[in-house]
Amino acid sequence: MNDVAHDEHRRQLLREMLRIRRFEEKSAELYTQEKIRGFMHLYVGEEAVAVGTLQALDADDAVVSTYREHGHALVRGIPARAVMAEMYGRQEGCSRGRGGSMHIFDAATRFCGGNAIVGGGLPLAVGLALADKLQGRARVSACLFGDGAVAEGEFHESLNLAALWKLPVLFLCENNFYAMGTALARAQSQPDLHLKAASYALGAEVVDGMDVLAVEAATRRAAQAVRGGGGPYFLELRTYRFSAHSMFDAQLYRDKAEVEDWRRRDPIVLFERQLRAAGVLDDATLARMEAEIAAEIAAAVAFAEAGSWEPVEDLTRFVYSEGPAP
């Protein structure tokens, strides 16, 4: 990449992180207005992970995600309006309003769902990768999950199976140090999660998840190894969620000082400062970025507001397929 392209790429990384941040801020506002209901989990603070990791994927790779997946969905290329309409429960939403915030699906980008069973997505990623291996396709199945999943049996079964069969799975552990309200140190005998993963004989490393360039670089290396037939790879991406676990969380389990410490490492603030210092970003560029993002989000909200409800007569559609197997 030449310098100009490199600068543009870095601005693009910042833009994507900002896009997630503003989308989440708007989502919180809409939640308090009761436009969005159910459980909603915000990604504020963790933006560098989604933006950095998903750069490394190709269009025909697969993504398996969690219930905290708005950021993943946006970076993966699902239109913001389809995500917003989904959270409104509209049939124009990417899952026709059947899934809501926790279950964003999009076949076009091979986004195989926000899974709201902690650890439940890992075996799916293993199977997607097995299908690719059996069919001789050099695709990667990326699986995002949190530190909480590492305590689940499915984590251990899946890493073992993927390593045993040398499957092209990219395990991306978003370690935000809390499984809802349970601090990592209160749940894990070995809180260095990459060490736990490494015991399954696969490549495993820890990455500063607040540094988007570090995340991108590590994920590109890992994805290349996976795509080249080297078997699965595990990245522990250390990050922090600045917002509550969900919209019902009073955050009694963590100190305000700890949150403030992490906020000083805000991935967007840090990266913006870095780009300014490098002379790659100025006020006008940032203002233009913010304006474009605001317009995109406003359009997404308008789209969701103007959306329609799926007819109740369609309630039982897609319990089973409507046609024969493809």
Per CB under 8 A, 321 contacts another protein = yes
- Judged by beta carbon, residue 12 or residue 308, the one nearer another protein is 308
Report how far residue 212's alpha carbon sits from residue 228's, in angstroms, rounded to the nearest whole number: 24
Residue with smaller CB distance to another protein, 120 or 181? 120
Using CB under 8 A, which of 53, 55, 115, 175 touches another protein? 115
Tokens of 310: 């799926």
Among 117, 195, 287, 294, binds another protein (CB under 8 A): 117
Calpha distance 62→139 (Å, rounded):
8
Q: Which is nearer to another protein, 119 or 209 (CB)?
A: 119
Binding-site size for another protein (CB under 8 A) equals 50
Instruction: Collect all residues with Cβ–Cβ distance below 8 Å to 121 and sequence separation of at least 6.
Output: 64, 65, 66, 112, 113, 115, 143, 144, 145
Q: How far apart are CA 31 and CA 73, in angstroms?
A: 19
- For the CB of residue 238, give the shortest distance to another protein in the complex, in Å: 26
- Part in contact with another protein (CB under 8 A); list of ranges 36-44, 120-128, 185-193, 288-296: 120-128
Q: Contacting another protein (CB under 8 A), which of 38, 79, 127, 181?
A: 127
Interface segment toward another protein; rule CB under 8 A; list 39-47, 106-114, 170-178, 286-294: 106-114
Min dist CB 37 to another protein, Å, is 16
Examine residue 145 and tell whether it contacts another protein (CB under 8 A): no
Residues 15, 11: Cα–Cα separation, whole Å = 6
Are 148 and 118 in contact by the 8 Å Cβ rule? The answer is yes
Output the smallest distance, CB 163 to another protein, in A.
Answer: 11
Beta bridge partners of 233: 170, 203
From 23, 43, 67, 105, residue interacting with another protein (rule: CB under 8 A): 105
CA distance 237 to 173: 6
Residue nearer to another protein on the CB measure, 17 or 159:
159
Sole residue written with tokens 């024969």:
324
Point out which residues pair with 207 in neighbouring strands.
Answer: 237
Nearer to another protein, 141 or 175 (CB): 141
Query: In terms of DSSP bridges, do strands 169-175 and 178-179 run parallel, antiparallel, or are they unpaired?
Result: unpaired
What span, in angstroms and rounded, lies between the C-alpha atoms of 75 and 182? 28
**Binding string, 146-185, against another protein, x = CB under 8 A?**
-------xx--xx-xx--x---------------------
- Minimum CB separation of residue 11 from another protein in Å reads 33
Q: Which residues of 173-207 are buried (b: 16+ CB within 10 A; e: fewer)?
A: bbbbbbbeeeebeeebeebebbebbbebebbbebb
> Nearest approach, Cβ of 166 to another protein (angstroms)?
12
At residue 204, the 3 state secondary structure works out as strand
Shortest distance in whole angstroms from residue 162 CB to another protein: 9
Determine, following the binding rule CB under 8 A, whether residue 202 of this chain makes contact with another protein.
Answer: no
**Beta-strand relationship, 203-208 and 233-238:** parallel
> DSSP label at 314?
G
x-or-dash string of contact with another protein, 59-98, rule CB under 8 A:
---x-x--------------------------x-xxxxxx
Q: What is the DSSP string of 100-117?
A: GGG---BGGGTEEEEE-S
Q: Which is nearer to another protein, 263 or 317 (CB)?
A: 317
Return residues touching another protein (CB under 8 A). Answer: 62, 64, 91, 93-99, 103, 105-107, 112-113, 115, 117, 120, 122-132, 134-135, 141, 153-154, 157-158, 160-161, 164, 317-326
